[in-house]
């Protein structure tokens, strides 16, 4: 005799939903466990980094008051220099103006003297008699020489002014 057993298994929808919810809950718990494990590892790394950086950060923060004092001293020095410059620059400008005026007068005097000298020299070296339409000619072109001399003196005075300005600016820089 042979027996055949046929059994039917019936699962209600409520039981199926409960099994699915339990499976989803277990899966969520496993996911949260992995997430918390990884977060703990990351936080451990952050803690280790903060522990390594604590000493340099503490030293830097301890140096800040000294740095601030030095910055205050530097600003005080800059303020003193600025006030000194404000009082001294007008006096210096007046002196430069006086020197420039004196140099200008000296150059004019030299130019006048040279012109007078050239006039005398031209009269000494006249050739022949001059006609009404002709200029007096000389063997040496002293007017050209004088004009060149005047130009050279102007260039020399200009270069001296530039040199004085550079010297003054270097002295001002070296003082600061």
Beta strands of 15-80 (E only): which ranges? Answer: none
- What Rg, from alpha-carbon coordinates, does the chain have? 50
Dist CA 171 CA 176 (whole Å): 9
DSSP secondary structure letter of residue 137:
-
Q: Where in the chain are the domains?
A: 13-175
pLDDT tens digits for range 99-129: 787 777 888 888 888 888 777 766 666 554 4
CA-closest candidate to residue 106, choices 151, 148, 157, 143: 157
pLDDT tens digits for range 63-84: 989 999 998 899 898 888 888 8
């Amino acid at each position: 005799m042979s027996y055949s057993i046929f059994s039917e298994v019936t699962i209600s929808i409520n039981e199926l939903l409960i099994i699915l919810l339990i499976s989803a809950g277990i899966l969520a718990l496993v996911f949260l466990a992995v997430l918390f494990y990884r977060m703990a590892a990351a936080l451990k790394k952050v803690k280790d980094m903060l522990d390594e950086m604590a000493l340099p950060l503490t030293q830097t923060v301890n140096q800040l008051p000294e740095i601030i004092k030095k910055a205050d001293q530097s600003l005080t020095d800059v303020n003193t220099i600025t006030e000194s410059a404000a009082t001294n620059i007008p006096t210096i400008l007046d002196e430069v103006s006086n020197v420039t005026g004196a140099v200008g007068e000296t150059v004019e005097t030299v130019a006048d003297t040279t012109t007078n000298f050239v006039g005398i020299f031209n009269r000494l070296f006249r050739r022949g008699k001059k006609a009404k339409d002709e200029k007096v000619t000389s063997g040496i072109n002293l007017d050209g020489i004088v004009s060149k001399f005047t130009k050279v003196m102007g260039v020399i005075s200009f270069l001296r002014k530039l040199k004085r300005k550079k010297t003054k600016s270097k002295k001002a820089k070296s003082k600061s």
